[in-house]
Structure 1
Amino acid sequence: MQKAALSGIRVLDLSRLVAGNMATLQLADFGADVIKVEQPGTGDPLRQWRKSNLDLWWREYGRNKRSLSLNLKSPRGRTLLLKLVAQSDVLVENFIPGKLKGIGLSYDILLETNPKLVILSITAWGHNGPYRDKPGFGTLVEAMSGFASMLGFPDRPPTLPPIPIADMITGLYGALACMTALRHRDATGAGQVIDLSLLEAMYSVLGPVAAEYERTGKYPKRNGNRSPNSAPRNSYKTSDDKWIALSASTPLMTEKLFKSVGLEDVLQDERFSTNEARVRNGDETDAIVADALRKFTLSDLMALFDETGVAGAPIYEVPQFVEDPHVKERGILIEVDDPELGSYRMHAPLPRFSSSPGAIRFPGARLGEHNQEILSSLLSLEEADIHELQTAGVIGS
């Protein structure tokens, strides 16, 4: 069996909800031993994101991680954690700044225990600034970063995304940060603390909006499905009441699109002859394109675009996506055998490596499922010791 790329890397994940789990998921998928440290009795709140009484958020984003239910409010619990810290490479946490110090687990203590430790601290607002002590979630960051103000239609309220996009982006940054810090540690022998905020991660993907505002006085506003950079770009209804998305992001693509649907003469009109003109006359551009596309069924339009090299895609709902032939052939979804729920599909590990691919070894574990395994193999505790810790409430049962 091929050795996983991150085999030998141990991660202690003290985080809760999405961003930390997204970060450690990337490491776990590629072979890192991620130990999810959770409060006995309750565990990670992600376990409570249920639909139809199914904890599928946890089972997907908690996959490949061993669960240790350990009471960090207990002095003995903190002692056990520090023994694990001494044997680990990375610790991930998302407490409000200062919270770990308040329970006797300051960064100084953690780094004194293991000077080579990489500590990833994920917070909403960062470790300094007037908002550092405020509680925060991705939704608040999506609002304050300016993202929500750009999302939606101009005559409707700002729109908050239906998925935790700020957390997901931050989690991906977090995984990259851990690997960068491990590279630095390997070169220097020194660990460090990574201060990663959801606010900065979310803002970083919005484009040069501050520069645009400072240089021109303008900034993005809600513009529906349109792009401020190219046109046409929107969703368009077909004759069979389905929807297609188009993004004619280059002049050549616009030319191909207009010619394929009988609009080549439109390009001679100065209102639509350049990309800048089409963006400026967005309403008229969209009306012309929408009227042309409305004459085709979705399948006929996709066949035409395949023939003429036009970039377009159907707007799928989940049932269409999971059954799409490209999705199936690429293996974008992987069948997972869950001992409790049976088989179902999860997203495959990303990115795809030619020599050291990721793998899904098991779905999100039961709370405390690996208590005995971790405490006996890593800390050499006997069964009687583990039972006594359970009785004392230091670990979960």
Structure 2
Amino acid sequence: MMNPQKISSASDSTQPLRDVKVVDLSRLVSGNMLTHVLADLGATVIKVEPPRKGDELRAWRREGMSTYWLAYSRNKESVELNLRMPDDMAKLTGLLADADILVENFRPGTLERMGLDKERLNAINPKLVVVRISGWGQTGQFAGKGGFGSLIEAMSGFAAMNGFADLPPVLPPFAMADSVAGIYGAALALAAMHGQRGNATPAVQEVDLSLFEPLFSILGPQAAEYQLTGKPTPRSGSRSPTHAPRNVYKTSDEKWVALSAGMEGTLARLFEGIGYPQGLQDQRFSTHEARLKNIDALDALIQGHITKLTLPEALDFFAVRDITAGPVCDIADLLQHPYIAESRLLVDQVAPDGRTVSVHAAPYRINGERPPIRRGAPTLGQDNATWFGADQSAIPCIPDTAAQPT
């Protein structure tokens, strides 16, 4: 098997995973998010895609461009394999023979039906870490249930606590459950790989990663608070169930500013600034619990002052007093924002059709440098010849029904 030369102008410090090989059998967001994190850190990520169709993420288009694919598959490689064909399965096992991590998000049991159960994988590569993503986990009564993120966002408790009390529950406007699981999964994969590298007698390690559990884990101490109060967390819009004031307030120029001032020192400066210096002596606002109980009155007091100010004036008002507040921005605002420009968080990327658009850079720095985009998101099967030889570019057009993503 050929070993491709990696293209990189990055310093070694920004590519700590440059000796890591990942085989990605996943589709859509969760697995792509996981391997996106690893690829940006220098790992060789090989996306194995069904012929002609490719990863379903490619179909998420705007104005004819696969924008999600462009953003989350940069720094990856693509090979077309029809996993119903013995020759292509042999190519896959060849890729796995020296891989560190395998990522899949098939329905539980699919990998086994493909002939890649744990015993077989141990025979191929006992040092392999297998991250198995599914909606509800590999075992249990929900294991065979479809697990798209919207179901998880509804059942986990997120939708029930999101939105306003007098309006329906609100699902997130992006693939939240998949994204959270993918980021968790990257950490789990690296932890398991670290354990494998120190193991004198390695055996395949399986990580059972559901979409449900990571999202449930970041929603806060919901169970404990329900047990203490007997009440689920209510939908409260932009307010917080844990501290006040915390909301968005409208300015005189029809803009919005977000404010979080739960600490008493910050709140004292806020009360002083809006002309109500006795605020912390007011019994309605003197304690944490009192402020939550009287949140309507507190918000009305703050809004009464913000209404008099334009957004720039409001931001100056808060900045002078060291009060934690900022503008509510949409992407049109951010494309012009000095913080984004200074931090270089957006970079230009050329799509396969020649158009140039902005995508997020790696959202961190290592020793002062962001890992670069070493190569753009691959076209379907772009790297077949690199991995399998020059005569392996064409893949027979036979439907791939062996594996269904969650």
Per the normalisation by structure 2, the TM-score is 0.92
**Structure 2 residue aligned with 1:358:** 371
1:163-187 Cα deviation digits (max 9, x unpaired): 1111111010010011101110111
Kindly indicate whether the alpha-carbon contact (under 8 Å) linking 1:78 and 1:105 is maintained by their aligned counterparts in 2.
Answer: no
Residues 391/205 of structure 1: CA separation in 2 closer, same or farther (3 Å cut) = closer
Shift of 1:374: 1.4
Whole-Å Cα distance in 1 between the matches of residues 281 and 397 of structure 2? 81
Aligned 1:85-124 pairs, distance under 5 A? 85-124=96-135
Whole-Å Cα distance in 2 between the matches of residues 391 and 182 of structure 1? 35
Shift of 1:108: 2.2
Kindly indicate whether the alpha-carbon contact (under 8 Å) linking 2:81 and 2:395 is maintained by their aligned counterparts in 1.
Answer: no
Query: Could you tell me which of 330, 346, 353 is aligned with 1:317?
Result: 330
Whole-Å Cα distance in 1 between the matches of residues 152 and 352 of structure 2? 37
Kindly indicate whether the alpha-carbon contact (under 8 Å) linking 2:255 and 2:311 is maintained by their aligned counterparts in 1.
Answer: yes
Q: Does 1:390 align with 2:403?
A: no
**Structure 2 residue aligned with 1:47:** 58
Tell me the amino acid that sits aligned with residue 150 of structure 1.
M
**Structure 2 residue aligned with 1:247:** 260
**Structure 2 residue aligned with 1:274:** 287
1:264 partner SS: coil
**Structure 2 residue aligned with 1:7:** 18
Q: Taking CA–CA contacts closer than 8 Å with sequence separation of 6 or more, which of the two structures ends up with the larger relative contact order?
A: 2
Q: Does 1:195 align with 2:200?
A: no
Tell me the amino acid that sits aligned with residue 267 of structure 1.
L
**Structure 2 residue aligned with 1:380:** none
Shift of 1:339: 5.1
Kindly indicate whether the alpha-carbon contact (under 8 Å) linking 1:305 and 1:312 is maintained by their aligned counterparts in 2.
Answer: yes
Residues 392/223 of structure 1: CA separation in 2 closer, same or farther (3 Å cut) = closer
Kindly indicate whether the alpha-carbon contact (under 8 Å) linking 1:11 and 1:33 is maintained by their aligned counterparts in 2.
Answer: yes
Note the residue ranges of structure 2 that are not aligned, 5 or more in a row. 1-8, 401-406
Tell me the amino acid that sits aligned with residue 390 of structure 1.
I
**Structure 2 residue aligned with 1:144:** 155
Q: Does 1:38 align with 2:34?
A: no
**Structure 1 residue aligned with 2:177:** 166
Whole-Å Cα distance in 2 between the matches of residues 211 and 131 of structure 1? 25
Shift of 1:287: 1.2
Aligned 1:260-339 pairs, distance under 5 A? 260-338=273-351
1:245-283 Cα deviation digits (max 9, x unpaired): 001121111112221222223332100122221111111
Shift of 1:79: 1.2
Shift of 1:355: 6.7
Which deviates more, 120-129 or 326-335?
A: 326-335
Aligned 1:359-378 pairs, distance under 5 A? 359-376=372-389
Whole-Å Cα distance in 1 between the matches of residues 123 and 164 of structure 2? 53
**Structure 1 residue aligned with 2:93:** 82
Whole-Å Cα distance in 1 between the matches of residues 127 and 190 of structure 2? 13
Whole-Å Cα distance in 2 between the matches of residues 173 and 103 of structure 1? 26
Query: Could you tell me which of 358, 361, 373 is aligned with 1:348?
Result: 361
Kindly indicate whether the alpha-carbon contact (under 8 Å) linking 1:255 and 1:264 is maintained by their aligned counterparts in 2.
Answer: yes
Kindly indicate whether the alpha-carbon contact (under 8 Å) linking 2:51 and 2:396 is maintained by their aligned counterparts in 1.
Answer: no
Residues 331/270 of structure 1: CA separation in 2 closer, same or farther (3 Å cut) = same
Whole-Å Cα distance in 1 between the matches of residues 173 and 36 of structure 2? 21
Shift of 1:348: 1.2
Kindly indicate whether the alpha-carbon contact (under 8 Å) linking 2:345 and 2:363 is maintained by their aligned counterparts in 1.
Answer: no
Tell me the amino acid that sits aligned with residue 17 of structure 1.
L
Shift of 1:40: 0.4
Residues 274/215 of structure 1: CA separation in 2 closer, same or farther (3 Å cut) = closer
Query: Could you tell me which of 189, 192, 196 is aligned with 1:181?
Result: 192
Kindly indicate whether the alpha-carbon contact (under 8 Å) linking 1:9 and 1:89 is maintained by their aligned counterparts in 2.
Answer: yes
Whole-Å Cα distance in 1 between the matches of residues 57 and 399 of structure 2? 22
Whole-Å Cα distance in 2 between the matches of residues 357 and 109 of structure 1? 39
Shift of 1:391: 5.1
1:110 partner SS: helix
Percent of aligned pairs with the same residue? Answer: 42
Q: Does 1:256 align with 2:297?
A: no
1:214-238 Cα deviation digits (max 9, x unpaired): 2332331111111011111111000
Shift of 1:357: 4.3
Whole-Å Cα distance in 1 between the matches of residues 225 and 37 of structure 2? 34
Paired residues, number: 387
Whole-Å Cα distance in 1 between the matches of residues 260 and 65 of structure 2? 37
Residues 100/294 of structure 1: CA separation in 2 closer, same or farther (3 Å cut) = same
**Structure 1 residue aligned with 2:226:** 213
Whole-Å Cα distance in 1 between the matches of residues 364 and 149 of structure 2? 24
Kindly indicate whether the alpha-carbon contact (under 8 Å) linking 1:64 and 1:360 is maintained by their aligned counterparts in 2.
Answer: yes
1:218 partner SS: coil
**Structure 2 residue aligned with 1:125:** 136
Kindly indicate whether the alpha-carbon contact (under 8 Å) linking 1:26 and 1:350 is maintained by their aligned counterparts in 2.
Answer: no
Which deviates more, 344-353 or 162-171?
A: 344-353
Whole-Å Cα distance in 2 between the matches of residues 259 and 196 of structure 1? 50
Whole-Å Cα distance in 2 between the matches of residues 236 and 359 of structure 1? 38
Residues 161/390 of structure 1: CA separation in 2 closer, same or farther (3 Å cut) = closer
Which deviates more, 337-346 or 268-277?
A: 337-346
**Structure 1 residue aligned with 2:6:** none
**Structure 2 residue aligned with 1:379:** none
Whole-Å Cα distance in 1 between the matches of residues 325 and 221 of structure 2? 27
Residues 306/338 of structure 1: CA separation in 2 closer, same or farther (3 Å cut) = same
Note the residue ranges of structure 1 that are not aligned, 5 or more in a row. 377-382
